Amino acid sequence: MYKIMIIEDDLTIAKALQEHLEKWDYQVIYVTEFRNITEQVLREDPQLVLLDVMLPYFNGFYWCGEIRKVSKVPVMFISSASDNMNIVMAMNMGGDDFIVKPFDLNVLTAKIGALLRRTYSFHGQVNVLEYKGVVLNLSDTTLVYQGNKIELTKNDYRILQLLMENQGRVVSREEIMQRLWENDQFIDDNTLTVNMARLRKKLSEAGLKDFIATKKGLGYILQ
């Protein structure tokens, strides 16, 4: 599940956007404090930002520039100002797209989907892997589920990364051990069993019991 952060000072609009986008299975949050937007982006780690141009204290162009100093998260500007100068300014400050208010919610949803695909599916710029609402952050090796961030060990991360790269396919124990060997650690069959048990316990405690299924004699698969 992708997380979208809305930075819009009209809370009526922000809540309406949240309600609509959640119907499309996005996790959506909106900002209510506009003095420290960059810190909130870093803390929440969204996969996309919807950013209004006219904001209290500093405008959206300023905040986009500040966000770009610390993050490559895609930014879509939402603004009632439709003149070319605002659009050019938005792109020059690091924006990725621009939509003019009032807009059709279905058009916005389509543009969000397209921007997410461009960012996370193409050009090798994959920053997250997602499966049934579980998001593996490749940038900080954490797992996010239902808004909760789960810290992973190096082996946890490598196991989950391999399984999520092979969704719908059984991954053999030999493939997993080979991936773990890339970390310059010798992993034998018994060690893998211990690592898998620890990972499953961690996932179960986070509400992901049976997330990794065993196919006897074959390996493991996500379910």
Q: Which domain holds residue 13?
A: 3-120
Residues in contact with 117: Cβ distance below 8 Å, sequence separation at least 6, in sequence order: none
Same domain membership, residue 109 and residue 20: yes
Q: Tell me the two tokens of residue 101.
A: 């208010």
Q: What pLDDT was estimated at residue 184?
A: 54
**132 and 116: one domain?**
no
Q: Determine contact, residues 158/191, Cβ cutoff 8 Å.
A: no
Averaged confidence pLDDT in the chain: 86
Convert the pLDDT of each residue in 38-80 to its tens digit.
888 888 888 899 999 889 989 888 899 888 888 888 999 988 8
Give the phi and the psi of residue 128 in degrees, each rounded to 5. -140, 155
Total domains present in the chain: 2
The per-residue pLDDT for 170 is: 92
Are 132 and 105 part of one and the same domain? no
pLDDT confidence of residue 123: 45
Q: Does residue 36 surpass a pLDDT of 90?
A: no
> 161 and 186: one domain?
yes
For residue 218, the Cα-to-chain-centroid distance in whole angstroms is 31
Structure tokens at 110: 């389509």
**87: CATH:** 3.40.50.2300
On the question of pLDDT at 30 being above 90, the answer is yes
Q: What is the pTM of this model?
A: 0.56
Per-residue pLDDT reduced to its tens digit, 81-128? 767 787 888 888 888 888 888 888 888 888 888 888 877 765 444 567
74 cis-preceded (ω within 30 degrees of 0): no
Q: Which H, E and C letters describe the chain, residue by residue?
A: CCEEEEECCCHHHHHHHHHHHHCCCCEEEECCCCCCHHHHHHHHCCCEEEEECCCCCCCHHHHHHHHHCCCCCCEEEEECCCCHHHHHHHHHCCCCEEEECCCCHHHHHHHHHHHHHHHHCCCCCCCEEEECCEEEECCCCEEEECCEEEECCHHHHHHHHHHHHCCCCCECHHHHHHHHHCCCCCCCHHHHHHHHHHHHHHHHHCCCCCCEEEECCCEEEEC
* Residues contacting residue 201 through CB under 8 Å, at least 6 positions apart: none
Q: pLDDT for 133-149, tens place per residue?
A: 788 888 788 888 877 78
Judge if 9 and 65 occupy the same domain: yes
Split at pLDDT 50, 70, 90, the class of 178 is confident
Under the banding of pLDDT at 50, 70 and 90, the label for residue 185 is: low
**127 or 132, which is more confident:** 132
Residue 50: its pLDDT value, please? Answer: 93
Assess whether 114 and 17 both reside in one domain.
yes
- If asked whether residues 173 and 64 sit together in one domain, one would say no
Average pLDDT over every residue of 6-16: 92
Listed in sequence order, the residues at least 6 apart from 223 whose beta carbon sits closer than 8 Å to its beta carbon are 210, 211, 212, 213
- Identify the CATH number of the domain in which residue 152 sits: 1.10.10.10
116 and 7 part of one domain: yes
d(C-alpha 5, C-alpha 18), whole Å: 9
* Residues 111 and 133 reside in one and the same domain: no
Same domain membership, residue 80 and residue 113: yes
User: Mean pLDDT over residues 203-218, rounded?
Assistant: 92
23 and 116 belong to one structural domain: yes
Last residue of a domain, one of 71, 87, 120: 120
Mean pLDDT of 154-169: 90
Q: Which of 120, 148, 175 is the last residue of a domain?
A: 120
Same domain, 189 and 211: yes
Domain boundary among 120, 149, 172: 120
Per-residue pLDDT, 5:
95
